Amino acid sequence: MQIFKKIFVFPQIIYLLIPIIIISLVFTNFSSNSVEISSIDFIGEATLQKGLIFKETEVGGVSGITYNAKNNLYYAISDDRGQKAAARFYTLKIDLSKGLLEKHGIIPVSVTTLLNENSQTFRPGETDTEGIALTNKATVFVSSEGDAAKLINPFIKEFSLSSGREIATLSIPKKFLPDKSNQKGIRNNLAFESLTITPDNKHLFTATENALIQDGVAAKPNIGSPCRILQYNLLNKQPEKEFLYQTESVTPFLNLIGKFASGLPDLLALDNQGHFLSLERSFTGLGFAISLFQVSLEKADDIHNIDSLLAIDFKNIKPVKKKLLLDLRKLDVLLDNIEGLTLGPKLPNGQQSLILISDNNFNSLQRTQILAFQLKVENPLIRLLRRVLPNFKL
């Protein structure tokens, strides 16, 4: 009888182990380090003094921001084209030690001037620096929109964090470069605003704020624009993939002045598996519309071999997937021209912080505004169970 019991018990153990092994393998291959945001909560606002002069330099035009966890400092790039001072980034302290951002919780620490390959400052009008991303080598990458009207090319360059000196330049695919015919390339002031690096420091991403001329229309009231996300391999410093990102259509509200602008000013890599936060910003004639989206490259088509979306039926191209996380108009906050975002430190409760910052355009009617949020990241195992069991609730 004992022999018969062993014969029947053994398969039962196998049947029990098989699903455990399968679940373990699926969970392992599910990229346990991938990040998805389940909720986002507002935890405070701060503003810099208008017209603030620090180190003999006016602080303003902040278009991008990145965080250094080693020293709990932030580096914020100014898009001043050399009119107020040479191209530069500011180092800032933002105090989240209490789990929230208080009214005066931001302090300038230093100003770093960017120097070209000849260790000279950039000439006025030569740059329109919009994005900044920190590496693990005490350097930052900075993106410039260039000036399409003057045929000044956009760039992505690496600079020393300490000296501001240029170290390397990434090559820009020709399809992005403006030309005399005005038939291709970036649109003026609608180019590389965004910049982000994956946590493993293997890939850098930027995106056009609106469509390339040969890809479609710029954003208009009730009409979005097909942008391109550009992926670089930082191991060989070469561009390798591109993806279609469609901005949302925005309806103006009481647009008495007739001005409208909308686009993609920043991206933030959340993990190494192609998940991002994206920031869409619109000026609607009566204030700003700001939205945060969770973005995934999963199943999106690589379009780097397509020079013109208008030359093909791009309705068949699979764009990146987007999910609205937050429409900031629902906050009880007067929004300014938000253009940059970065993850900050872990908060005292263990949750991840997020910082957004505005470009005041050196305009006395605008502010350098900092908004802080708390992100709740969904556990990968819970996420897996939700996909396997759609009706699963915790």
Which H or E run includes 2? Answer: helix 2-29
Q: Is the pLDDT of residue 297 over 60?
A: yes
Structure confidence at residue 259 (pLDDT): 81
pLDDT for the residue numbered 256: 60
Long-range contact set of residues 121-126: C-beta below 8 Å, sequence gap at least 24: 121/86, 121/87, 122/82, 122/86, 122/87, 123/82, 124/81, 124/82, 124/83, 125/81, 125/82, 125/150, 125/152, 126/81, 126/82, 126/87, 126/152
Q: What is the mean pLDDT of the chain?
A: 90
pLDDT > 70: what percent of the chain?
A: 87
CA 117 – CA 94 distance, rounded (Å): 32
Tens of pLDDT, residues 250-290? 988 766 666 888 999 999 999 999 999 999 999 987 789 99
Q: By percentage, how much of the chain surpasses pLDDT 90?
A: 81
pLDDT in tens, 57-89: 999 999 999 999 999 999 999 999 999 999 999
CA dist., res. 364 & res. 289, Å (int): 20
Per-residue pLDDT, 354: 98
- The whole-number pLDDT of residue 170 equals 98
User: Residue 277 corresponds to which tokens in the numbers above?
Assistant: 């936060």
Of residues 216 and 19, which shows the higher confidence score?
Answer: 216
Query: Is the confidence at residue 22, as pLDDT, over 60?
Result: no
HSE-CB of 295 using CA atoms within 13 angstroms: 28
Distances (CA, A) of 102 to 192, 369, 372: 32, 12, 9
Residue type, 67: Y
Band of pLDDT at residue 20, cut at 50, 70 and 90: very low
Using DSSP's 3-state secondary structure scheme, residue 291 falls into strand
Q: How confident is the model at residue 77, as a pLDDT?
A: 98
More confident residue, 21 or 369: 369
Residue 27 has pLDDT above 70, yes or no: no
Report the DSSP beta bridge partners of residue 133. Answer: 141
The predicted pLDDT at position 251 comes to 85
pLDDT at residue 383, rounded to an integer: 53
Cα(252)–Cα(366) distance, rounded to whole angstroms?
Answer: 20
Could you give the maximum distance between any two Cα atoms of the chain, in Å? Answer: 93
Predicted local distance difference test score (pLDDT) of residue 391: 61
| pLDDT score, position 65 | 98
DSSP 81-127: -SSSSSSEEEEEEE--TTSSB-TT-EEEEEEEE-B-TTS-BPPTTS-
Q: What is the CA radius of gyration of the chain?
A: 23
Query: With bands split at pLDDT 50, 70 and 90, how would you rate the model's confidence at 237?
Result: very high
Judged against a pLDDT cut of 50, whether residue 26 lies above it is answered with no
CA nearest neighbour of 114 among 146, 157, 151, 153: 157
Looking at the predicted structure, is the pLDDT value of residue 382 above 60? no
Q: Which residue has the higher pLDDT, 14 or 115?
A: 115
Query: Does residue 229 surpass a pLDDT of 50?
Result: yes
d(CA 215, CA 106): 40
Identify the pLDDT of residue 235: 95
Q: What is the DSSP string of 141-154?
A: EEEE--BGGGTBPP
* Number of neighbours of residue 183 by Cβ within 10 angstroms: 10
Give the pLDDT mean for 7-11.
46
Residues pairing with 94 in the sheet: 106
pLDDT at 109: 97
Q: What is the DSSP string of 9-73?
A: HHHHHHHHHHHHHHHHHHHHHT-TT---EEEEEEEEEEEPPTT-EETTEE---EEEEEEETTTTE
Res 313: pLDDT: 86
